[in-house]
Copies of this chain bind each other. A is one copy, B any other.
Amino acid sequence: MSLRYAVLTLLDIEPGSGYDLKRRFERSVSHFWSASHQQMYRELHKLHQEGLLDCVEQPQEGKPDKKLYSLTDKGCAELRHWVTQPTAPQKIREPFLVRMFAGHHLDRDDLRSALNSQLQLHREVLRHYQEQNEKVLNSDAALQKRYWLAHRTLLLGIEAEKTWITWLENLSEELE
């Protein structure tokens, strides 16, 4: 259900096409949500049908028309209502930890390489978040003030990655 509101939230901040949204999901909200382009287009159609979004087609040369979506009053009202409602926390599902839970079947070399590749992944993600953070810190002060909570979610993402990295590093050390 939250994809719906993630889309509304992003379009509320700035209107855009399905393609735009897909990139914004990757580049600025990947620390709490992700979605494929297929999901995006389906959701946009649905929200448009329900009257929560306006759609303006922008003809382009050499490319398919771009469909610019933006919130209608109804869409904005629905978003404003949703943010006041309690949300159940997401259930955690982490395949890597399933593997570690069954880790007594791994020999030392397999375990070492599993930890290393996981460490590399999390370091990359952390770097990505920190780059985003730099951009926010260098942006317009008024925007920073308006979206301070949104910025805080990024800081949580950063802390969460640091927690993972520390855990993986300690585990690696203990292994040697």
Chain B CB within 10 Å — which of A110, A111, A167 has the most?
A: A167
CB distance from A25 to the nearest CB of B (A): 10
- A interface SS class: helix
Looking at A49-57, A86-94, A133-141, the stretch in contact with chain B turns out to be A86-94
What residues on B are CB-neighbors of A152 within 8 Å?
Answer: 100, 167, 171
Pick from B80, B90, B101, B111: contact of A94, CB below 8 A: B90
* With known contacts A2-B93, A106-B83, A153–B101 Cβ distance under 8 A: yes
User: Residues 93-110 of chain A: 1 if any B CB is under 8 Å from the residue's CB, otherwise 0?
Assistant: 111111111111110001
**3 closest cross-chain pairs (CB), A and B:** A103-B149, A32-B97, A9-B102
* A positions within 8 Å CB-CB of B: 1-2, 5-6, 8-9, 12, 29-34, 79-80, 82-84, 86-106, 110-111, 114, 117-118, 121-122, 146-147, 149-150, 152-153, 155-157, 159-160, 163-164, 166-167, 171
